[in-house]
Amino acid sequence: MVGGGFGGLQATRSLANADVDVVLVDRRNHHLFQPLLYQVATAVLSPASISMPIRSLLRKQRNARVRLGEVTAIDTERKTVHIAGRERNEDLSYDWLVLAAGATHSYFGNAGWEADAPGLKTIQDAIQIRQKVLQSFEHAEWTSDPDVRRKHLTFVVVGAGPTGVELAGALSEIARRTLVEDFRNIDPAEARVLLVEGGSGVLGAYPDGLRESALRQLRQIGVEVWLESRVVEIDHGGVTVQRSGHEAPTRVDAGTMIWAAGIEASPLGSQVSGDTDRAGRVRVGPDLSLASHREIFVLGDMAHTMGADGEPLPGMAQVALQGGVHAAHSIQADLASRPRATFRYRDLGSMATIGRSKAIAWIGGLEFGGGIAWLVWLIVHLMALVGFRNRVVVFFEWAWGYLTWNRGSRVIHNRFGPLDTPGPKAEGTRPPPSASPQSA
Amino acid sequence: MVGGGFGGLQATRSLANADVDVVLVDRRNHHLFQPLLYQVATAVLSPASISMPIRSLLRKQRNARVRLGEVTAIDTERKTVHIAGRERNEDLSYDWLVLAAGATHSYFGNAGWEADAPGLKTIQDAIQIRQKVLQSFEHAEWTSDPDVRRKHLTFVVVGAGPTGVELAGALSEIARRTLVEDFRNIDPAEARVLLVEGGSGVLGAYPDGLRESALRQLRQIGVEVWLESRVVEIDHGGVTVQRSGHEAPTRVDAGTMIWAAGIEASPLGSQVSGDTDRAGRVRVGPDLSLASHREIFVLGDMAHTMGADGEPLPGMAQVALQGGVHAAHSIQADLASRPRATFRYRDLGSMATIGRSKAIAWIGGLEFGGGIAWLVWLIVHLMALVGFRNRVVVFFEWAWGYLTWNRGSRVIHNRFGPLDTPGPKAEGTRPPPSASPQSA
């Protein structure tokens, strides 16, 4: 079991009563409830509220062990998995292998953009974005130059998928409501939140009516949306965007840029299969295993799984969860010498939130937007959170935020540095004086 | 107003109705409730639960402004304060200056020890220690070598003042109770928590009866206490301790070492006064100002303030808070051309917690230990926490922890790396590829 996200964790749990030993390997010690990660980035929630130690989650499951470490090599002949920094004799061997290592940002060949426009996949990413956003307001408070101030109060989100939409909406609310009374020299309502999207609308995967509704709701809370616009350059001072219908590219000076435009599957996929799609996802058979290695399953964001409509399934928690259940059932079928079943994805609906009382939802063919969608979103996400403790804390934070417009988690961990240092300083660590910079 | 800790924040608030403009400068954006910081380090609380943005705290106070930045120079002739990275013409000028910039760890000339034995003063420190502790258990789970395992499960705390005692007690509880069922290969009860103290007992500032009680309670929960023992060397693999009565120094291999042995005042003090004590604290007059510059006040951990008994007052929140009130009153006296009063510290008592139902308290001359002291400790700290929201969250975390023995905040933010990398990796940031290592 490689990966403690929705897919890997679910597959492990579904094997609780099977006569197998499960070893779950992850390079992080926690399962992350990624759908709420943007709320950590926008200072609503603390990291601990949406993450649970994998060990605690599997404490009661006696056939499961957890190993922290990063899988760097898979030997499909010897059937072993190698972990970074471990000896070869510590390689883990397997009878079945479930790969659910997820995906990371893709900059489409412009990896250099990452330094100035980070993506949002991990708690580290979220803390980094949170610090960048909060620091931008502090920089704006210092300066007396209106151009510099405008730059620091400009936030650009690239990509209008669910993450981009949710981030842009939350940023606009922070700027216009949460921070309004906290600053003396600046008017946070001057803040400009720009959402840049290459396609013809936001939230490409949704039906047209909802996409238009989402666009309308975004604009209501003050997000500027540029459609059919392509980012051609990102540097430390801003972005350059080619808008459709404009001849010359438009330059936007910005203090904060966030990348939500594309993802790329874990490179582990290419170690077990040559058959990957453009995003590096492994094409799997109808039982989610590889045609060449039926003992290897690939799940979730790493997998190119064909849906009933002939389109690959989207990178959503539901797809990974159901895939995890299916992989576990297939392993149990093998144990019982039964034939494996075919994976059928049950679409339980999807939804995205835009702001306070603003959301869209698409459930069982029904489309709705606004306050009702937002309430449904709240309830579904609260119920889906793993762990009773987290549910209570998140409920309290949300209720508190709703009543007071405050954000509970507005902590910049590191010291506030001089203007225009490239990115926030390292947090949580001081490089040991004896260590080389690379090892810190 | 330099510093948004207990002293600086209190002084600012006490000037709310005075006819002055207050500028509070801090290099961090939050006020930290330091007495509970060890609970962040031991995974009980989230950083956001014990910190509040300074801006929010002063939102309603119209005569106060907040500037983030690090004060690097004070010109007592021109009466200006310089901030790192700002232009000279952005220097802040003052009529009165309140210095309350606190203190940091002192390694008594062995600054190189800091990399292997971090201290606990900031949220970054706390997160670093938390990650070190949690990672030690993960390393121990991997290894099959009993010596290596023993090393990773050895935690050394240097210094048995309040912070050292609270950390050692909490570590012992984590190891023996919280993590017990989470690991398969190791028995967390094998963990060894060693508290090394140079003096003849723990908690030097308390009366003898309480000190003995604290020592007894520590030993009850499994903390090994070495008194009259001096650390002679700290390196990446452990500590070397000279115990009294032993001829040769004793080597202890350890995976985690924490420094709680000494503090050193902010170097800003030496910029305004040549009269500092061994810990760099500025000797102040009876009204907390400098004899040479009566418009400069020095408060809290930065100040050497003489108490009624002829001993300097300890570095406690109460001393800083009362000092803040006094400095504000003195400024108001100056405005009204009244003479300044003499500062008199009112000892409201002090207490330290050791573990579940284990604590000592010394209030109004009364000494008590055990369950009652622990309850009083809980209530006092909960009431003293700034912000209703934080009180609710911390109360919930404590109640949850008490009932389940769980720790709510067991998140290792960064990836789990190979064994024996020197210290945890940088968190919350990836150094931009273009940046030089020094600037990251």
Which tens digits make up the pLDDT trace of A205-249?
Answer: 888 999 999 999 999 999 999 999 999 999 999 999 999 888 899
Which tens digits make up the pLDDT trace of B36-75?
Answer: 888 888 888 888 888 888 988 888 898 999 999 999 999 9
Which is nearest to B116 in space by CA: B231, B11, B223?
B231
From the candidates A411, A419, A420, A438, which should be mutated to test the interface with B, based on the most B CB atoms within 10 A?
A411
Least confident of A414-423, B8-17, B345-354: A414-423
Residues of B in contact with A406 (CB under 8 A): 56, 389
Give A16 to chain B, closest Cα distance, Å: 16
Query: What is the β-pairing status of strands A64-68 and A303-304?
Result: unpaired
Give B69 to chain A, closest Cα distance, Å: 6
Residue in chain A closest to B63 (alpha carbons) equals A184
A127 inside 8 A of chain B by CB: yes
Q: What is the mean pLDDT of residues A186-200?
A: 88
State whether B396 and A396 contact (CB < 8 Å).
yes
Catalytic machinery residues of A: 166
Q: Can you read off the two tokens belonging to residue B427?
A: 């968190």
- All structural domains of chain A, each given as residue ranges with its CATH number in brackets, are 6-27+69-105+264-335 (3.50.50.60), 111-261 (3.50.50.100)
Confidence of residue B422 (pLDDT cuts 50, 70, 90): very low
B91 inside 8 A of chain A by CB: no
From the candidates B411, B412, B421, B430, which should be mutated to test the interface with A, based on the most A CB atoms within 10 A?
B411
Asked if residue A424 has pLDDT above 60, the reply is no
Confidence of residue B22 (pLDDT cuts 50, 70, 90): very high
Q: What is the mean pLDDT of residues A382-386?
A: 74
Which tens digits make up the pLDDT trace of B228-252?
Answer: 999 999 999 999 999 988 889 999 9
Give Cα B27 to chain centroid, integer Å. 16
Confidence of residue B176 (pLDDT cuts 50, 70, 90): confident
Which tens digits make up the pLDDT trace of B158-170?
Answer: 999 989 999 999 9
Helix/strand/coil for B318 = helix
Confidence of residue A415 (pLDDT cuts 50, 70, 90): low
Angle at B179 between CA B174 and CA B185, to 5 degrees: 135
pLDDT at B428 (0 to 100): 35
B21 inside 8 A of chain A by CB: no
A142 inside 8 A of chain B by CB: yes
Other C-beta atoms closer than 10 Å to the C-beta of B46 total 26
Mean pLDDT of chain A: 85
What are the backbone angles phi and psi of residue B54, rounded to the nearest 5°?
A: -60, -35
pLDDT at B71 (0 to 100): 93
What does the alpha-carbon distance between residue B7 and residue B300 come to, in Å, rounded to a whole number?
A: 6
State whether B417 and A116 contact (CB < 8 Å).
no
Q: Are B299 and B288 in contact (CB under 8 A)?
A: yes
pLDDT at A420 (0 to 100): 40
Asked if residue A402 has pLDDT above 80, the reply is no
B337 inside 8 A of chain A by CB: no
State whether A46 and B47 contact (CB < 8 Å).
yes
What does the alpha-carbon distance between residue A432 and residue A426 come to, in Å, rounded to a whole number?
A: 12
Least confident of A45-54, A376-385, B187-196, B200-209: A376-385
From the candidates B104, B129, B425, B429, which should be mutated to test the interface with A, based on the most A CB atoms within 10 A?
B429
Residues of A in contact with B69 (CB under 8 A): 142, 416, 418
Tell me which residues of chain A, numbers 287 to 316, contact chain B at a CB-CB cutoff of 8 Å.
Answer: none
Residue in chain A closest to B48 (alpha carbons) equals A409
Mean pLDDT of chain B: 85
Cα dihedral sign, A260-A261-A265-A266:
negative
User: Which amino acid is residue B91, in one-letter code?
Assistant: D
Which tens digits make up the pLDDT trace of A259-307?
Answer: 999 888 998 988 888 888 888 899 999 999 999 999 999 999 999 998 8
